[in-house]
């Protein structure tokens, strides 16, 4: 069921989102060659709990960690690991969900480990811009298909990267995953019409090669690119309002205002 949120509920989600944003900003100083992905988990969990919130991924369908930490060809949902050490040139994706007094927010971010290759940097840049292209379409009166069509045109048609199909954005609040589904591909003018008070995530996952992915048979969670190519992801939680899309997990409101 799709619920329409009040201004009070959206403000609660914004406060939750500010915790995620602060965590991601802190990770900019943490992520560097030589650290393990477990250190990212430790930092993220402590940051969330120190700010009076709960890492909502813990216990979700048996998941045991506050964050997912996916490296290089790992697209999403990878476990943080003490034995996995980051190296110069890696790309790492960190995703988490915060529950602050019953208000949820969800955000993922990609980080370069040291200096990455020009190809990886381009992948990150395209994925980042794809996120904001999608957000720009999240206007009252537009349809879900407008978001996906704009993202796919930019990622695949303009830049030749693979736009992951299997994992998509979603509604959020009063739980982590709600209706509607928000694909990052689609047909403009089709799908559910967006209304004020809806809250959704937009979270394109973009592969340097093809769009197909596979899930590990060993742990049942880790998603990797089928062809072994690197992948990037950026995600925001947003509210649909009469004044345009509002990013509830913004790391830099002034930047977002200029971009949108």
Known binding-site residues for a divalent metal cation equal 95, 106, 170, 203, 235
Residue 115 contacts by C-beta under 8 Å, 6 or more apart in sequence? Answer: 88, 89
What residue spans of the chain are helical by DSSP H? 7-30, 37-50, 118-136, 144-152, 253-259
Return d(Cα 253, Cα 248) in angstroms, integer.
10
Token couple for 231: 């992948």
Contact 140, 194 (CB under 8 A): yes
List residues forming the annotated binding site. 77, 95, 106, 170, 177, 203, 235
Binding-site sequence positions for substrate: 77, 177
* R_g (Cα) of the chain, nearest Å: 17
| Alpha helices in 56-204, H assignment, sequence order | 118-136, 144-152
């Amino acid at each position: 069921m799709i619920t329409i949120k009040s201004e009070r509920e959206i403000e609660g989600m914004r406060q939750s989102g500010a915790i995620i944003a602060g965590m991601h900003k802190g990770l900019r100083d943490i992520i560097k060659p030589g650290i393990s992905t477990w250190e990212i988990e430790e930092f993220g969990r402590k940051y969330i709990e120190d700010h009076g919130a709960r890492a909502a991924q813990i216990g979700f369908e048996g998941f045991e960690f506050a964050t997912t930490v996916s490296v290089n060809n790992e697209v999403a949902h990878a476990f943080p690991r003490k034995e996995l050490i980051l190296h110069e040139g890696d790309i790492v994706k960190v995703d988490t969900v915060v529950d602050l007094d019953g208000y949820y927010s969800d955000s993922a971010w990609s980080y370069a480990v040291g200096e990455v290759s020009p190809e990886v940097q381009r992948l990150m840049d395209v994925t980042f811009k794809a996120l904001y292209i999608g957000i720009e379409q999240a206007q009252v009166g537009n349809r879900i298909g407008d978001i996906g069509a704009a993202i796919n045109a930019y990622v695949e048609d303009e830049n030749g990267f693979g736009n992951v199909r299997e994992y998509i954005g979603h509604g959020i609040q009063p739980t982590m995953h709600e209706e509607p589904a928000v694909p990052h591909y689609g047909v403009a003018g089709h799908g559910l019409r967006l209304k004020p008070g809806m809250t959704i995530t937009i979270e394109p996952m973009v592969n340097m090669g093809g769009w197909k992915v596979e899930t590990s048979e060993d742990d049942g969670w880790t998603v990797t690119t089928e062809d072994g190519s690197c992948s990037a992801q950026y995600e925001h939680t947003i509210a649909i309002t009469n004044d345009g899309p509002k990013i509830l997990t913004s790391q830099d409101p002034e930047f977002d205002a200029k971009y949108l």
